[in-house]
Amino acid sequence: MPATSLSFAIEKLTQQLIALPLPPAAQEDKVVQLRVEVDAAIPLIAWLASQQQYPRIYWHGRDKKEEVAAIGCARDFLFQDSIDDKQLALIYQQQKALSADPAIRYYGGVAFDRSIESWPEFGRARFILPRLELRRSGDDFLLALNLNFAEPNPELERQRALDAIKQLLPPRPLMPPHKVGLMARHDSPAYPRWQQLVQQVTEPTFNNAVPKVVLSRVSQLEVNEIIDPWMVLACWQGRNQNSFQFGFQFSPHRAFISCSPERLFQRRDRQLHTEALAGTTVRGLSQQEDDLLANQLLEDSKNSYENRLVQEHIVDVLTPLCEKVDADTAPKIFKLTHIQHLHRDIRAQLKAGVNDFELLQALHPTPAVGGLPRAEAMAFIRSQEGYLRGWYAGACGYLNKYESEFSVAIRSALLESGRISLYAGAGIVAGSDPKAEWQELENKLATIISILIDF
């Protein structure tokens, strides 16, 4: 029977945990999830922001049907200094074998460039089996507790889980949205350097060999107060409802949040759904102007070329992993609050045995955030862009036995004490104009800046 309130669900979950035989009756299941339904609507971001345990993780699907708030840690995979994709896949396959439960999920992400250092706490890749999850699917809510009995002391694991439950706090309203005082802003690269980089990429000899490089910029805002990342994400969510919304806060020191329109991939068993999202223009002030801008985007040769490059690359890298790959022949318009994109759907049937890390290795980073050819574009970004992207333009999402979903972490922010770093990028191809591309970066940051700063 479903619980009638969150507090009653917590009580029922505690009773289940205390009554659970140790070791678990199903010996092959070393990772166990206990679940209690909650017959009450819970504001998940507010609940998450109220907790004192770390990590704090939030995931909201682009289809709006699913939402997850998770805290604490039952199992942590952090790759800080080096990472090998094959080793990462092997570790995950071993972990996946510890449970047959299709509800067990590992949330996390991989950095944009796994060959170099990344942000503290985030690492080149990090995946968490949370201790506690509050999940919403449509109008249904449940509270889940994850237990890791792969360790030698199951009673200690049970006690850790009991301690985590005891620390749970009820949701309290988020702080009301308010603008912060901007003390300074620093763009890296600054415009003169940006102009040089665009000219380098569009120089004919270079461009013939590397037809696309996605250049990006970090805009660091120095502010005079501590900002609640979950309040910011909630506001952002309200203005960009057609996006994935997610956040990772591994410690009190920094939080990474994103309202990204871009799906890297969604897997349901062997069915794969991905997309080419590239080519951008602004929204109109009227429906007539909006339609005109959309039609101009569809007819623009530079943006259409950029989108086609992304689509062709994704089909090429998926083909060896799939029995069948189908892609839209022509792009459609994907609308957000301040901008609109060219978009193509790509659907595939995976070959038997293909795992999520093979998909990550093949698809990430896509040409929409890196460039083409991938190795040459990445080498240029690594040596010339001038700042550390970290998880910006990385792949963030979740994995489990039968399904997985990842978003590309564009339209994102890193919040630290006294500083907010905002990220945006633009695909540079033949014919790109430095001023127009710089303005595209501003357009992409317009929503989040309007939430944060009072001009």
Phi, then psi, of 36 in degrees rounded to 5: -135, 130
Phi, then psi, of 58 in degrees rounded to 5: -130, 140
CB-neighbour burial class of residue 46 (10 A; exposed 0-12, middle 13-18, buried 19+): middle
Angle subtended at Cα 263 by Cα 134 and Cα 254, rounded to the nearest 5 degrees: 55
* Direct distance between the N- and C-terminal alpha carbons of the chain, in angstroms, rounded to an integer: 52
Distances 33 to 57, 118, 156, 209 between C-alpha atoms, Å: 18, 31, 16, 51
- Other Cβ atoms closer than 10 A to 261: 22
For residue 98, what are its two tokens?
Answer: 């510890």
SS3 382: helix
What's the residue count for the chain? 455
* Residues forming the active site: 212, 262
Q: Cα(68)–Cα(135) distance, rounded to whole angstroms? A: 5
Phi, then psi, of 403 in degrees rounded to 5: -150, 160
- Looking at residue 248, its amino acid is F
Contact 180, 453 (CB under 8 A): yes
Biggest CA-to-CA distance, the chain: 70
